[in-house]
Every structure is written in structure tokens, then in C-alpha cells.
Amino acid sequence: MQTLLLNADDVDENARMDRVIDAVRGAFTAYERGNAKMPAKSYIDLPEYNGDFRSMPAYLDVRTEDTAEATGWDAAGIKWVNVHTDNPADHDLPTVMGTMIYSDPETAFPLAVLDGTTLTMKRTGAAAAVATDHLAVPGATSLGIVGAGVQSYTQLEAIAEVRDVEEVVISDLDAERVAAFVDAFEDRFDVRAGSISEAGHCDILSTVTPVEEPIVGPDDVGEHTHVNAMGADAAGKHELADELLLDATVVIDDHEQCTHSGEINVPYAAGTLTDADIYGEIGEIVVGSRPGRAGIDAGGAAPGTGAEGVTGVTVFDSTGLAIQDVAAARVVYEQADEADNGYPFDLLGLAG
């Protein structure tokens, strides 16, 4: 057996978004059903280098009824990722770099070593798509995005898989990044630059910024906007005003991570927002134990008949879970293996 080495281009080519969305939905389901093992994300702080390392291991077992694939599946892996803020200026390196090791759960053989940075972008977009599918109004056609960095691209690519997006409003202080985003998508969507409020008054809003002072207030969103709060991934980060969070139906991906480093971490630490203000976890909605948006069935796709569910503004607080990385890595590995992509090598020296 050989280990498959997959670089960023390989991951991008083989991370078919429809399959990644299904895999991430399956990961949320397995976690909610108790069929996943995910130790808490561990941090190694390196203040001497103005950075840190984070390790994210997980195992998940997805049942046949919880996937669009012919049979269920299981998978295991670990992502090793950093945040070194001085890298671009001092070393001409990215701030964030990730490496994923994808393993066979039965034997522990390392099936693949792959770029974790591109993988993270894909699975983050997929997580927003799953939440959007369950929480956005059924007929949503407009998407606003605050932040025109790399994450904005996969937000649009993924959300367009679950809603018929026609209009896109992108908001960012960097005019060059906005222009690049518009140029990338103007042949597929009615896409334009706009203010935060214009983006927020779309049917769906994704925020993908690293800010620590809220930039989206309650007046910046529509009456039924669904917000994917994707930017906060560390203590102190905070994109949405407390008043917006308190007025909205808040759905989280994981209680421990969200209260420590998600969008709700600042008001939660201050006691402004409590557990009573959290509607539930996305896994509960995916498996149908808690209703999503009124008019959306438990499967998340088709409008129902006005059944019980939430209305008004909804917020999905996504910190990014290791189960999502493992689920996405499986999609990439299997697709690449089938297509003979990547570079196979004898990592363990077991080749005859």
C-alpha cells in the first residue's frame, strides 16, 4: 500500500462541492447521533513567534440513511494547522497553513497526506451550505458576503449548491479584492460591490472576516436573513453585534468551541448571552430532533407545508470542526484515488 500525496491543486480538483456538502452533513449527523469521536481542539501558543499550532483529530461513522451514497462509511484523520500573523510580512508565507493526514480507521494506515488549507476552505463553505439549507428561507435567491478573502469564494460556490442564488453583494474595504471577486463570478451571477447593510439585507449573509469589533448590527440585516457567521475562530473575535445575536435564533456547531472561540465567545464570556439564548446545535436540526426554518423539512432541501420551525433572523455560528475536515478529506482521497491524481509514495517503507 502507498500513501497518496495531494497538493492544493489536487484538493481543489477533487473536492467536488456536492459530495463535500453531503459528507459534512453526514459528519454533523454522526456527531449528533454519538457516532463520532472528536477530542477538543488543542492549542500550542507560541507568543515568541506571534503564532500558534492547533491539532484537530476525529473519527466518524456515518450511517447509510444519513448519506446520499449507496452505503454508510467511516473515516479518521487529523489536521495540523497554524496561525502565524507575521508570516506574510516577515517570511513571505501564508498566515495559515494546514496539513491533513487521512487514515484507514481499521488499520491506521495513512491513506493520504493532503493540503489542509484548501481543504479547510472547501469544508467551511460546505458547513455554511448545510446550515443555509436548513435555516434560510426556501425561496432564497440573494447572497451577501462580508469579507472578500479566500473564504468568500467557497461560500458562494457551496451555498449556490443548496439555493438558487441569482444576486450576490460583496462588501470589503479592499477594492482590489472586491474587483477580483466580481471578476471571478460575474459570468455566473448578478454580482456587485455593496455596503455591509446591502449585503446583510440579502436572503442569506455570510461573514468571513477576522474582526474583533462587531461590524454587522441589527439594522444591517433583513427581517428573515439567515447569517452564516464564519469568521470567528479564536477568543476575542466578534463580527456580529450583541443586539443582533440576542434578537436572532442562534444555532452553533459545537458548544465548547463556540463559547470559547466562535462568534458568541465574547458576549458569552461577558454573560450578555447565555445558554438560554442558544437555540441548539446544527446536528440537532440536521437529524430532525429540532426544527429548522419553517417550511423546510428535516432533509433540508424542499419547502414543506408551513410546518413548525423558526422564523425571523437566524445565525449559524461556525467554528469549524475536525469531523468536517475528516469528512471532506475522505471525499478528496476517494475521488483522487479513482482518478489517479496526486503522487503515491511509500511513506512507511512497506512496498515490496
Active site residues: 79
Q: Record the cell numbers describing residue 150, joined without a space.
A: 479566500
Question: Alpha-carbon distance 290 to 309, whole Å?
Answer: 8
As a whole number of angstroms, the longest Cα–Cα distance in the chain is 66
Taking the CA atoms of 329, 333, 334 and 336 in sequence, report the sign of the dihedral they define.
Answer: positive
Beta-strand (E) ranges in 172-295? Answer: 190-193, 204-207, 226-229, 249-252, 278-281
Structure-block grid coordinates of residue 342: 496526486
| Burial state string for 273-293 with b = 16 or more CB within 10 A and e = fewer than 16 | beeebbbbbbbbbbbeebbbb
Distance CA(14)–CA(11), nearest Å, equals 5
Q: How far apart are CA 214 and CA 227, in angstroms?
A: 14
| Short-list 334, 255, 335, CA closest to 75 | 334
